[in-house]
Amino acid sequence: MRLNLFPLLVIAVVLFVVLNLSAGLIWVERRLLALWQDRYGPNRVGPFGLGQILADSIKLFTKEDWIPPFADKPVFILAPAIVVATSLISFAVVPFAPGFVIADLNIGILFLLAMSSLGVYSVVLAGWSSNNKYSLLGGIRAAAQMMSYEVFMGLSLLGSVILAGSFRLTDIVEAQRGLWFVVPQFLGFILFLIAGVAETRRLPFDLAEAESELIAGFHSEYSGMKFGMFFVGEYIGVILVSAAISLLFFGGWLGPVLPPALWFAVKTMFFICLFILLRAALPRPRFDQLMSWGWKVMLPLALVNLLVTGAVVLARR
Amino acid sequence: MTTLFYLAGILAIVATLLAITQRHAVHALLYLIVSLLAVAVEFFVLGAPFVAALEIMIYAGAIMVLFVFVVMMLNIAEHAMEVERGSLKPRNWLGPALLALVLLGELVYCTATTRGTPSLTGVTGPKQVGEALFGNYWIGVELASLLLMAGLVGAFHLGRHRIAKEEKHHVTSTDATRTDTRSDLVHAGSGGTSHAA
| Domain chopping of chain A, boundaries | 68-316
| Residue B129 forms contact with A (CB below 8 Å) | no
Entry pTM: 0.80
List the single residue in A106, A117, A140 with the smallest CB-CB distance to B73: A140
Q: Which residues contact A163 (CB under 8 A, 6 or more apart)?
A: A175, A181, A184, A185, A309, A313
Quick one: pLDDT at residue A20?
86
Classify residue B181 by burial, with Cβ atoms within 10 Å: 0-12, 13-18, 19+.
exposed
Q: How far apart are the first and last CA of chain B?
A: 95
What's the rounded Cα separation, in Å, for the pair B20 and B18? 5
User: What are the chain A neighbours of B33 within 8 Å (beta carbons)?
Assistant: 121
> Which residues 6-65 in chain B show a CB within 8 A of chain A?
26-27, 30, 33, 49-50, 53-54, 56-57, 60-62, 65
What's the rounded Cα separation, in Å, for the pair B29 and B32? 5
Quick one: pLDDT at residue B188?
45
Q: Tell me how far CA of residue B149 lies from CA of B29, B64, B192, in angstroms.
A: 27, 20, 58
Quick one: pLDDT at residue B117?
57
Low-confidence ranges of chain A (pLDDT < 50): 1
Encode pLDDT of B97-129 as tens digits.
Answer: 888 889 888 888 877 776 655 555 667 777 788
Encode pLDDT of B165-196 as tens digits.
Answer: 777 777 777 666 666 655 555 444 444 444 44
Quick one: pLDDT at residue B149?
92
Interface pTM (ipTM) of the complex?
A: 0.77
Report the pLDDT averaged over residues B143-153.
92
Tell me whether residues B65 and A72 touch, CB distance under 8 A: no
Quick one: pLDDT at residue B190?
45
What's the rounded Cα separation, in Å, for the pair A216 and B91? 47
A→B contacts (Cβ < 8 Å), by residue, are 72, 74-75, 78, 105-107, 110-111, 113-114, 117-118, 120-121, 124-125, 127-128, 136, 139-140, 143-144, 147, 150, 154, 167
Longest dimension (CA), chain B: 103
What's the rounded Cα separation, in Å, for the pair A50 and A265? 20
User: What are the chain B neighbours of A117 within 8 Å (beta carbons)?
Assistant: 56-57, 60-62, 65
The answer to whether residues A122 and A233 touch, using CB atoms and an 8 Å cutoff, is: yes
Q: How far is A10 from chain B (nearest CA, A)?
A: 22
Beta bridge partners of A97: A100
Per the prediction, chain B carries an average pLDDT of 77
Quick one: pLDDT at residue B194?
44
| Residue B159 forms contact with A (CB below 8 Å) | no
List the single residue in A106, A111, A124 with the smallest CB-CB distance to B69: A124
List the single residue in A72, A107, A139 with the smallest CB-CB distance to B53: A107
DSSP state of A284: P
Encode pLDDT of B10-38 as tens digits.
Answer: 888 898 888 888 777 778 888 888 898 88
Q: How far is B48 from chain A (nearest CA, A)?
A: 10
